[in-house]
Amino acid sequence: MTRSRSRQLPVVIAPRDPGRVTAVILDFVSEVPDSQVGGSEDPAAEAGRLAKRAARRAALTAGSLALPPGPLGWLTMLPEMIGIWKIQAQLVSDIAAAHGRHASLGREQMMWCLFRHTAAQAFRDLVVRLGDRLVFRRMSQGVARHVARQVGLHLGRRTVGQGLSRWLPVVGAVGVGAYAHYDTMRVAETALELFSGEMAVEDAPSAVSASGADVVA
């Protein structure tokens, strides 16, 4: 009597624990990177050049870390995200500097630029549009943790699909690299929109919820 064995993928825990990802995000945005970029006479063109360079670096970083097959590939997922965030955070810093507005780049603006396109609803009560101006509510540590947790939940769901690509290392690496390129360009678009327009930071919640304010999603 022979026994048939079904081949199954081993059970591996992906880096989708919201608590862990929340802690990583909060630690990551606690310091805004410096920039060596000076103010530009054409900041939009400079932002485009910076974005293309950063997107290529992000694609290479993500694709390289996605090459290890199987369980080892799963273990590279959180380092991959952190590596891409570092590239993107520097991009945001450089775009702000190109517009001569690096001094106005804080934790709220960094989180907005990095994660708005990932989890727009997480910022629903924190960023509103008053006419042509984006108004940020200054975040307490508790509010920042809540936003980071919401972002972490969205990232956790996304990494499930990306994690399966680790079992197809070459094909998966190409796809992961392409997504990192796309993701970085989205970050650049948000940063360019932010620093080329009007922006304010308000401490009082009432200032953000004033009449005429539109939630930015």
Q: In the chain, what are the domain boundaries?
A: 18-24+43-121+142-197
Is pLDDT of 158 > 70?
A: no
Rounded distance, CA 83 to CA 148, Å? 17
**Cβ neighbour number for residue 23 with a 10 Å cutoff:** 15
Q: Where are the alpha helices (DSSP H) in 29-116?
A: 43-65, 70-75, 77-98, 107-115
Q: Give residue-wise pLDDT tens across range 94-126.
A: 999 999 999 999 999 999 999 998 888 888 878
188 pLDDT exceeds 70?
yes
Q: What is the mean pLDDT of residues 171-184?
A: 78
Q: Does residue 93 contact residue 32 with C-beta atoms inside 8 Å? A: yes
Q: Tell me the CA distances in angstroms from 69 to 5, 66, 166, 189, one per residue in order.
A: 22, 8, 5, 33
Q: How many angstroms separate the CA atoms of 198 and 200, rounded?
A: 7
In this prediction the pTM is: 0.77
Distance set, CA 193 to CA 33, 155, 197 (Å): 20, 23, 6
How many residues are present in the chain? 217
